[in-house]
């Protein structure tokens, strides 16, 4: 049978690579995006993967968006919670809005997507949820109390929901990427990026495809005995 997947933040960067990796496994993929319609249109034209616009931080919009995807593509078997934003700044300069938006989208999006899809997975006796955390949710990062808190929360969310899904054939895992050569990292000033790379034992940034391969495996039948786990893909930058 053909599985159906939703990848949030799926039209660019790591999300795009995940969509393509799942598509290559024969999965019917839907990509969610929030605002960049030009990029989403180009992605859909290039890949043949339909793109659906809704804000994963908006509970009602997420329920409606997932219902539309299920109606058009079939019941959702795989969810990859990849959507995320940054609003960096040290705490004493960080506004409540900067804190709240990152929590609403990065962590709240995981809850909203699970509310929309987890019940169906449980009823059908099969499901895969893969949440994209971050090395900065594991180790912390100066100037990112909002982002680090949200990503750390994803790791706890993963472990708790995994316990709820296990007996129903639904696995819930996380991947914690290190620094990957995406647009988000490209925005980091060159001198800062050089210092970051100097701390990565393998001596380079990661590639989006390397994250995607991890997601593809955790989304497969072969990964049925793995749940509640966090796979760190960071070139050895943070080990624990």
Query: Residues 174-231: pLDDT tens digits?
Result: 999 999 998 878 888 889 899 999 999 999 999 999 999 999 999 999 999 999 999 9
Q: Show the domains of the chain with their CATH numbers.
A: 4-229 (3.40.50.720)
> What's the CA gap between 187 and 166, in Å, rounded?
39
Residues 173 and 230: beta-carbon distance below 8 Å: yes
pLDDT (0 to 100) of residue 1 = 84
Active-site residue, 147 included? yes
Query: Residues 123-177: pLDDT tens digits?
Result: 999 999 999 999 988 988 889 999 999 999 999 999 999 999 999 999 999 999 9
pLDDT (0 to 100) of residue 110 = 98
* Residue linked to tokens 């290039």: 46
Catalytic residue among 33, 52, 147, 179: 147
Query: Residues 8-65: pLDDT tens digits?
Result: 999 999 999 999 999 999 999 999 999 989 999 999 999 999 999 999 999 999 999 9
> Which residues in the chain belong to E strands, given as ranges?
4-7, 28-33, 51-53, 78-81, 127-132, 170-177, 230-233
What pTM, to 2 d.p., does this model score? 0.96
Structure tokens at 199: 């701390």
């Amino acid at each position: 049978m053909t599985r159906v997947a939703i990848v949030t933040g799926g039209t660019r960067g790591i999300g795009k690579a995940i969509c393509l990796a799942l598509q290559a496994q024969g999965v019917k993929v839907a990509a969610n995006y929030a605002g960049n319609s030009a990029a989403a249109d180009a992605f859909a034209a290039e890949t043949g993967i339909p793109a659906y616009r809704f804000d994963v931080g908006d509970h009602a919009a997420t329920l409606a968006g997932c219902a539309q995807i299920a109606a058009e593509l079939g019941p959702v078997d795989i969810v990859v919670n990849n959507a995320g934003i940054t609003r960096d700044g040290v705490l004493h300069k960080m506004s409540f809005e900067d804190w709240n938006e990152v929590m609403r989208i990065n962590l709240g999006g995981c809850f909203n997507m699970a509310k929309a899809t987890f019940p169906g997975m449980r009823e059908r006796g099969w499901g895969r949820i893969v949440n994209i955390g971050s090395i900065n949710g594991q180790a912390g990062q100066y100037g990112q109390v909002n982002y680090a808190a949200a990503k750390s929360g994803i790791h706890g969310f993963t472990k708790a929901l995994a316990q709820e899904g296990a007996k129903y054939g639904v696995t819930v895992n996380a991947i914690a990427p290190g620094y990957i050569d995406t647009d988000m990292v490209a925005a980091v000033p060159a001198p800062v990026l050089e210092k970051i790379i100097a701390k990565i034992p393998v001596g380079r940034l990661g590639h989006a495809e390397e994250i995607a391969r991890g997601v593809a495996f955790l989304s497969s039948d072969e990964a049925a005995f793995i749940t509640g786990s966090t796979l760190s893909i960071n070139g050895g930058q943070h080990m624990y």
